Chain A
Amino acid sequence: MKDSLKYNLRVIFVLTFISLICGFILSFVFNSAKAKIKENQKKDIYRAIYQIADDCKNVEEKSINEETIYWLFNDKDELIGYAYLSQGQGYQGKIKILFAVDKSIERLLGIEIIENVETPGLGSRINEESFKSQFKNLKTNVPVECVKFFPQKKNQIQAITSATISSRAVVGILNKGIQNLKNLIEENDR
């Protein structure tokens, strides 16, 4: 009896000790790489903005309520719209979407997927041009809808076959983001 108690204690001790050391090492590695990862993500965001809005020549960042909004300007230095990074839960993990709208926030300029860990070959196809291009010029005064067959209205897109959850997640995150952006801009104008 004493032996088995001793054995069990050893099991607990070894598992705890190894997990602790691994956790410590990982937090150290993550902390030392955090700044670089953030910088890379920023580069991704800017690349996405220029891809969505091809007449955009200059981008200005502005924080409202600690949320970053990207103001897009054309070559004559006129405001042409806003871009905003929205994130939420996908099928397996976080999806980050960057979208841009025109300056009256009535029309979507387009979206880019910044980060996703959806199922390769199924959900990860949200990153394909054929899916993303559907969002170009959608109306934003009503929430975007995701349908399974032939979108007919101006606020509808077609889901990816066998990846309905991922498609819906993108639409949900986008709608949430548009609402957020509207509120933030309103607050800023006030």
Chain B
Amino acid sequence: MIGRIFKEGLWTNHPIFRQLLGMCPTLAVTTTVLNGISMGLAVIFVLFFSSLVVSLLRKVVPHQVRIAVYTIIIATFVTIVDIFLKANFPQISKALGPYVPLIIVNCIILGRCEAFASKNRLSLALLDALVMGGGFFWGLVTLASVREILGQGTILGYKILPPSFNPLIVMVLPPGAFLVLGTLVAIMNRLERIK
């Protein structure tokens, strides 16, 4: 079971490249690696604590209103993250803008709550949240790295490509996000087929 959780979350059922969930933050905030890391961490935090509460309450919550309850729980943790960023990291909060509150409607979180945390015991739910969050995290960071290197010639703000390199502006614009995502999904599919 544990091995399966790791394999699914990080590779075979990867939230971005396999399930194609959470596309809004994936495409929108991955202009720089720092944004990708912050968004990834925020999602891991929300996913972890939402799974914790949902798994604990799984026998209490009536079936008919479960989605409403999950949404309230998720919204609470997202708002905590939002307030925390505003108070302690105003620059990151500004860079991520409305995408922090939008984590509430990120399908990865609701999806994991409904598909996993509400049906499994606490320890497994927490592990699944961390692994799925980790999968989302490496997806975002990969996407953001490609876009930042090609679009600005930097990584985490440090210049790594020679000055003669001409940055591809399209990479920091929305079309760049789609191009890189499509390429990465294609690579994932190809690797899967070779296996």
Contact = CB atoms under 8 A, between A and B. Distances in A.
Interface of A: 7, 10-11, 14-15, 18-19, 22, 25-26, 29-30, 33, 36-37, 40, 43-44, 117, 120-121, 124
Interface string B94-120: 000111000000000000000000000
Contacts of B174: 121
Contacts of A30: 83
Interface in B67-82: 68-69, 72-73, 75-76, 79-80
Contact of B76 (A7, A22, A36, A43): A22
Contact of B61 (A14, A19, A29, A40): A14
B83 A37 contact: yes
User: A-side binding surface: helix, strand, loop or mixed?
Assistant: helix
Contact of A14 (B28, B62, B83, B88): B62
B90 to A, nearest CB: 4
26 contacts: A7-B62, A11-B65, A14-B60, A15-B68, A15-B69, A18-B57, A18-B69, A18-B72, A22-B72, A22-B73, A22-B75, A25-B80, A26-B76, A26-B79, A29-B80, A33-B83, A33-B84, A33-B87, A36-B88, A37-B86, A40-B86, A117-B98, A120-B28, A120-B97, A121-B174, A124-B98
Nearest to A13: B62
A11 B99 CA distance: 32
B contact residues, range: 20 to 34
Given A22-B73, A33-B86, A14 B80 contact: no
Contacts of B64: 11
Interface hub of B57, B86, B87, B99 (most chain A Cβ within 10 A)? B87
A121 B27 CA distance: 12
A16 B57 CA distance: 14
Contact of B90 (A7, A18, A40): A40
Interface of B: 28, 57, 60-62, 64-65, 68-69, 72-73, 75-76, 79-80, 83-84, 86-88, 90, 97-99, 174
A36 B93 CA distance: 13
A19 B73 CA distance: 8
A32 B61 CA distance: 30
A37 B93 CA distance: 11
A37 B76 contact: no
A40 B86 CA distance: 8
Contacts of B84: 29, 33
B62 A124 contact: no
A18 B72 CA distance: 8
A14 B54 CA distance: 13
B31 to A, nearest CB: 11
A29 B57 CA distance: 22
Contacts of B99: 120
A11 B75 CA distance: 19
A75 to B, nearest CB: 29
B80 A26 contact: yes
A189 B64 CA distance: 64
Nearest to A118: B98
Contacts of A120: 28, 97-99
Contacts of A33: 83-84, 86-87
A18 B62 contact: no
